[in-house]
Amino acid sequence: MREFGFIDVMYLVGAARWTLLLTVTAFAGASVLGLAIAIARILPFAPVRWIAAGYTHIVQGTPLLVWLFLIFFGLPLIGISVNPWLAAAVGFSVYGSAFLGEIWRGALVSIAKTQWEAGASLGLSMAEQLRYVIIPQSVRVAIPPTVGFLVQLIKNTSLAAVIGLVELTREGQLTAAGTYKPFAVYITVACIYFLMCFPLTQWSRSLERKLDVAR
């Protein structure tokens, strides 16, 4: 047994970079899928809307941990081998896309119908209406909840520890096992998560106040 010291704290801080990298990767993947889902949910083609809605309900109704297990343990059963990093990135991207898709769909439908009609009266196609009229206005509505979801995503990356990805939580488990000081270790881990999340939380609240006043 060894003491929990400064070098252990540095290991935890170093592991936090993988938490942040996983968050950025997952958020990027979720954003691409989420935007496609959000747009599909408002298209005037019922089958596309039904498929997008079904995807959203299935993903949101399934625990994130299950998606990680399905990808990491399930895909090898059909001959597709994935490492913990790829499994976590894909799992979080799929899970996040359903929530971002719903957030952004809500932002899109919050724009008054007259804005769509104004775009149509100018001869704009639906894609052009989205690009030049609807999306620029809906961004203001979507930013605060999107930043709020990003905070949740940072904290949820801790679940990647169960498939062996050495990020902040997993490093905390290893350090606690080596030092037999779980209280000190996990207090430190909690503080690091707080330092990553608190600025974003404050930024989200600030944006919400400013954008609400601007409205």
Task: Write down the domain spans for the chain.
Answer: 6-214
**Homologous superfamily of domain range 6-214:** MetI-like (1.10.3720.10)
- The Cα 5–Cα 91 span in angstroms is 34
What is the pLDDT tens value at each position of the chain, 215 positions in all? 678 888 999 999 999 999 999 999 999 999 999 999 999 998 888 899 999 999 999 999 999 999 999 999 998 888 888 999 999 999 999 999 999 999 999 988 888 778 777 877 878 777 788 888 888 888 888 888 899 899 999 999 999 999 989 999 999 999 999 888 899 999 999 999 999 999 988 888 887 777 664 44
Q: Which structure tokens are listed for 166?
A: 């050495």
Contact 154, 193 (CB under 8 A): yes
Can you count the helices (H) and strands (E) in the chain?
A: 9, 0
- The Cα 179–Cα 8 span in angstroms is 9
DSSP code at position 77: G
Give tens-digit pLDDT for 108-155.
888 877 877 787 787 877 778 888 888 888 888 888 889 989 999 999
Closest CA to 161 of 19, 48, 52: 19
Closest CA to 99 of 135, 39, 160, 57: 57
What are residue 21's phi and psi, to 5 degrees? -65, -40
Per-residue confidence (pLDDT) for residue 211, from 0 to 100: 65
pTM for this one?
0.88
Query: DSSP readout, 174-198?
Result: HHHHHHS-HHHHHHHHHHHHHHHHH
Distances, alpha carbon 153 to alpha carbons 30, 41, 101, in Å: 11, 23, 15
Q: Which structure tokens are listed for 20?
A: 């942040």
